[in-house]
Amino acid sequence: MQKGISKICKTLIFGGEVSLAVLDTTALVNEAIRIHRLSPVAAAALGRTLTASAYLCSWLKGEDDSLSVTIKGGGAGGQIGVSGDASLGMRGFIEHPDVSLPPRADGKLDVGACVGRDGTLTVIREEKGAMPFVGTCELVSGEIAEDFSSYFFVSEQRPTAFALGVKISSEGKCVGAGGVILQPLPGASEGSVSKAEEEIAKYSAVSALIAEKGAEGILRGDFGAEDWTEREIVYRCHCSREKIADILRSMGRDELETIVREDGKVSVHCHYCNTDYDFYEKDVAELFCGGE
């Protein structure tokens, strides 16, 4: 069970010309650590991606709208995948959750080496009644925040500044995770854009600030905000044995029985919640009771 609440808070600053979002995703990252048994650097990489993806999902309008993010950078952690929906139910995985890397020269986790720098960040947005939108950009650094900023500039044509961070304790628990995101609105003055660029530079240690102040403390103390919208973010996978059964049924009885004869069972693994679904001979037969 998730302990604590992850959230995204949004408001307008600089005379209403810049959108500000502050996210506290500490609980979200701890749930990912619990589910996937993440190493510290894997938690930092996946946690930053979950945080940025939650921000993207917060702009979805329709109840059934969804979004997925894939990062393939060739790093030691392998591929990262995150999916979410308009209700801010998030889920994700990293290909090598137990990856271990030496820290950088400054003592920080080497997220860039975990993610890799030679590859792409891809966003697929599915909205009811519209063709899926696919946006892709080359990775800039593998540090995630810079890569999402580049994605917004290249694919969305909307300059957006990201500060993302995940702080892991010596016990492997996330003690602070989140982000500060500034996006000038169309028609924003050059002065407001410059102020946004200056402000984002102050959040190189955003995870420590989240741990110390919380999202509300940053909003009030750093930006003087008094009113904002607030939404909860949760880790939620949509898989179930019933849904997996429907997928297997579509494969046909003959193919499933062949797999059972060769392997003893049909096994399906959900990457998002790290759950294995096993179907044995009796289970396969029950899939087609009253059917074929």
Judge if 180 and 272 occupy the same domain. Answer: no
Question: SS3 for 19?
Answer: strand
Query: Based on C-alpha coordinates, what's the Rg of the chain?
Result: 21
Judge if 203 and 82 occupy the same domain. Answer: yes
Does the residue 140 lie in any domain? yes
Does the residue 292 lie in any domain? no
Judge if 211 and 253 occupy the same domain. Answer: no
Does the residue 75 lie in any domain? yes
Does the residue 1 lie in any domain? no
d(CA 269, CA 159): 38
Judge if 49 and 66 occupy the same domain. Answer: yes
Does the residue 201 lie in any domain? yes
Nearest to 46 by CA among 134, 209, 166: 166
Judge if 156 and 257 occupy the same domain. Answer: no
Q: How does pLDDT run along the chain (292 residues), one tens digit per residue?
A: 556 899 999 999 999 999 999 999 999 999 999 999 999 999 999 999 999 999 999 999 999 999 999 999 999 999 999 999 999 999 999 999 999 999 999 989 999 999 999 999 999 999 987 889 999 999 999 999 999 999 999 998 888 999 999 999 999 999 999 999 999 999 999 999 999 999 999 999 999 999 999 999 999 999 999 999 999 999 999 999 999 999 999 999 999 999 999 999 999 999 999 999 999 999 999 998 855 4
What number of other Cβ atoms are within 10 A of residue 207's Cβ? Answer: 29
Judge if 258 and 223 occupy the same domain. Answer: no
Judge if 143 and 277 occupy the same domain. Answer: no
For the sheet containing 6-13, what is the strand order? 133-138, 120-126, 66-72, 80-85, 89-94, 229-235, 6-13, 18-24, 174-184, 161-168
Judge if 227 and 266 occupy the same domain. Answer: no
The DSSP 8-state label assigned to residue 20 in this structure reads: E
Q: How many separate domains does the chain show?
A: 2
Domain that holds residue 282: 241-287
Whole-prediction pTM: 0.92
Judge if 275 and 209 occupy the same domain. Answer: no
